[in-house]
Structure 1
Amino acid sequence: MALPQAWHQRLRLPAVAAPMTDVSGPDLVIAAAVHGIIGTFPTHNAKSTDELDAWLSHIAAATKRTDSVSSPVAPVGANLVVHRSNARLSGDLDCLLRHRPEIVITSVGSPAAVIGPLHDAGILVLADVASLRHAYKAIESGVDGLVLLSAGAGGQTGWANPVSFVRALRNDYDGILVLAGGISDGHGVLAARAAGADLAYLGTRFIATTESLASAEYRQAVVEATLDDIVSSVQVSGLSANVLRSWLEAHGVTQAPPTGLDGNTHTGFAQDRLLAQPNVWAAGHSVSGIDAVLDISVLAERLAHEYQQAQDLLLQAPVNGISRRWR
């Protein structure tokens, strides 16, 4: 589809380790990339723009590409909150322009103002969207692709059915589509591809890894949870976000506030509000597919095996009693 051709040889499977507040740091990004999965992190996880500068330098050095076909390194990227409440927007953007990661994912607001500078620096720009209206606005602004936040995504979430969301856009959009929402294994990655997405976004699955910034208690809570333990709330940032019920109850919130028909009850996003609540236990419906805390090397091997297994199952599937090869 729309992925840069050179990436196909660099990806072990078409997946992104999604950027997660208080979870994604240099160790996670590096481990994902060297094992063939796109690694990303939010710039605000670095406590200052100076620390962001150091993180980007460290990540670049650790993921320096080689010509080795046997050990390709996947692209890495950063997530930039472009909302007007982000006091570090200008400084973090300048930092990204100096370091030139291959990808920047914009969130919470129009990417229009940052696309020009990022493109001039040779950076591919994706935008988080949770509705068709925002998707088409992002397309009009000139993004290279979209991250579709669908029902079941951890943290900031969407309301749309994931397959319907992909199909509604793929019919007339040939840019990069990344599907986010409830994907925890290789079978889910293949399902995203079958629906028409170029890449699958896996966030929650990477919380329960040894390289994540999450606490041991948070990781274990993710392992023990099921999708019935996920609650949508505006408590975290003012936007609908999926979190573990146990975290909400520990903070005095016993149920999610009501949502509108679009599933997005907004009290108004504020970056300071998001950052003022460290160690939020965000998670998505994919918790039901997580049974252990793993090193990313082991997780990557498992995901690749599951992806191949899912392909093999489809190739062997009977149609009208006759086995056919589906490719």
Structure 2
Amino acid sequence: MLPPILQDLRIPVVGSPMFIVSGPELVIAQCKAGIVGSFPALNAREKDGEPPLLDAWLTRISEELDRHNQANPDRPAAPFAVNQIVHRSNARLERDIEICHRHKVPIWITSLGARPEVNAAAHDCGGIALHDIINNVFARKAIDKGADGLIAVAAGAGGHAGPQSPFALIQEIREWFDGPLLLSGSIATGRAVLAARAMGADLAYIGSPFIATDEANAQPDYKQMICDSGAMDIVTSSLFTGVSGNYLAPSIRNAGLDPDNLDQADASAMNFGQGSSKAKAWSQIWGAGQGIGAIHDIVPAADLVDRLAREYAEAKSEMARL
């Protein structure tokens, strides 16, 4: 059974946190539209000597959603989430945990390592902790270390995607875990959201389609490339961060590299000490998942959620008639 905070969403969708792309504007729009909006804490980067930008972002998000709820009591906003990169090279982790705890962030998403102290901080302020994993072994470790739920990042997902089929990954996890389970990987339509639920996931975890929205903090060329590309344009490589991820081949070519002949890197290349792993590479190489063939236009985030909700309802009606 889902925890109460995840039960009253307009549709069973969480907008996944995307490096650089996810900021307050996108999170607020997603939440107002009725799905969970999220962002990586490391996206909030202030200059040396300035107060923590994460503090300001959380204040803005909470205040704007509170105003929305007061004005729309019959259509309240969905809760928001903050993603913590718990990799050992993230020098900001302790500070960001304290800020999120003080703001009583309702949903904590952890990545690149399961840390009991982060889960404990989430619970101490009344929140829940969801951990993203790419296989069943990591899933068990995350729950053993206190995570409340899992995000199964399957083949075809944008960014740091796993290699396993969603059918296999969800099947193995559901053999032993009946708690909150989210699925990530090529989900870009309402029909795909319903398919994720049919497989055994509670919610769909959607990122790449939201890159092509007005509120996304992405370059115009990046948004247009999402609209112009499909699954054949996605390349998997570990070169850019040290962990296998999915990227747009045209952006790799624009950076002067051959997407068909990329070197490999290992996990030792990961370094989040400056806010991201190989930030300069990320500014030129754009991530995306294989589901982007369903994205054809740059639209407001609310319009994208409307489409997903309409397609989800239509798919449910169609399945009921079978």
The answer to whether the aligner puts 1:300 opposite 2:302 as a matched pair is no
Residue 104 of structure 1 aligns to a residue in which SS? strand
Pairwise mapping of residues 49-128 of structure 1 onto structure 2 (< 5 A)?
Answer: 50-64=52-66, 65-66=69-70, 70-128=74-132
Give a deviation string over 1:41-100, Cα, whole Å, max 9, x none: 001111137111100000001112459563121110100000110011111111111111
Percent identity between matched residues is 38
The answer for the alignment partner of 1:320 in structure 2 is none
Distance 1:152 1:139 in 2: 24
Give the whole-Å Cα distance in 2 for the aligned partners of 1:99 and 1:18.
20
What RMSD, in angstroms, separates the aligned Cα atoms of the two structures?
Answer: 1.8
TM-score of the aligned structures, taking structure 1 as reference length: 0.90
Residues 295 and 242 from structure 1, CA distance in 2 versus in 1: closer, same or farther, beyond 3 angstroms? same
1:187 pairs with one of 174, 180, 191? 191
Match of 2:13 in 1: 15
Paired position in structure 1 for 2:36: 38
Aligned with residue 287 of structure 2, among 256, 274, 282: 282
* Distance apart, 1:207 and its partner CA: 0.3
Q: Are the structure 2 counterparts of residues 50 and 184 from structure 1 closer, same or farther at C-alpha, using a change threshold of 3 Å?
A: same
The answer as to 2:319 corresponding to 1:314 is yes
Structure 1 residue 257: deviation in Å?
Answer: 4.6
Q: Using the alignment, how far apart are the partners of 1:6 and 1:94 within structure 2?
A: 22
Once residues 144 and 151 of structure 1 are traced to their aligned partners in structure 2, the CA distance between those partners, rounded to angstroms, is 23
SS in 2 for 1:19: coil
Partner residue in 2 for 1:5: 4
**Distance in 1 separating the partners of 2:78 and 2:296:** 26
CA distance in 1, matches of 2:144, 2:4: 24
Residue by residue over 1:261-282, the C-alpha shift from the partner in whole angstroms, topping out at 9 and shown as x without a partner, is: xxx9645422243434343311
Q: Is the 8 A contact 1:234 1:267 kept in 2?
A: no
Give the SS at the match of 1:97: helix
| Per-residue deviation, 1:171 | 2.0
Cα distance change of structure 1 residues 194 and 67 upon mapping to structure 2, 3 Å threshold:
farther
The one-letter code sitting in structure 2 at the alignment partner of 1:150 is A
Q: Letter of the 2:304 partner, please give it.
A: L
CA distance in 1, matches of 2:243, 2:123: 28
Is the CA contact 1:22–1:278 (under 8 Å) kept in the aligned structure 2? Answer: no
Q: 1:303 and 1:187 mapped to 2: Cα distance?
A: 8
Judge conservation of contact 2:16–2:39 (CA < 8 Å) in 1: yes
Task: State the Cα distance separating 1:236 from its structure 2 match.
Answer: 2.2
Q: Which amino acid in structure 2 is aligned with residue 60 of structure 1?
A: S
Q: CA deviation at 1:258?
A: 7.7
- Structure 1 residue runs of 5 or longer lacking an equivalent are 318-327
Range moving further from structure 2, 266-275 or 162-171: 266-275
- C-alpha displacement of 1:312: 1.1
Q: How many pairs were matched up?
A: 311
- Structure 1's consecutive aligned runs of 4 or more residues displaced over 6 angstroms after TM superposition are none
CA deviation vs aligned residue, 1:216-241 (integer Å, no higher than 9, x gap): 10000000001000001112211011
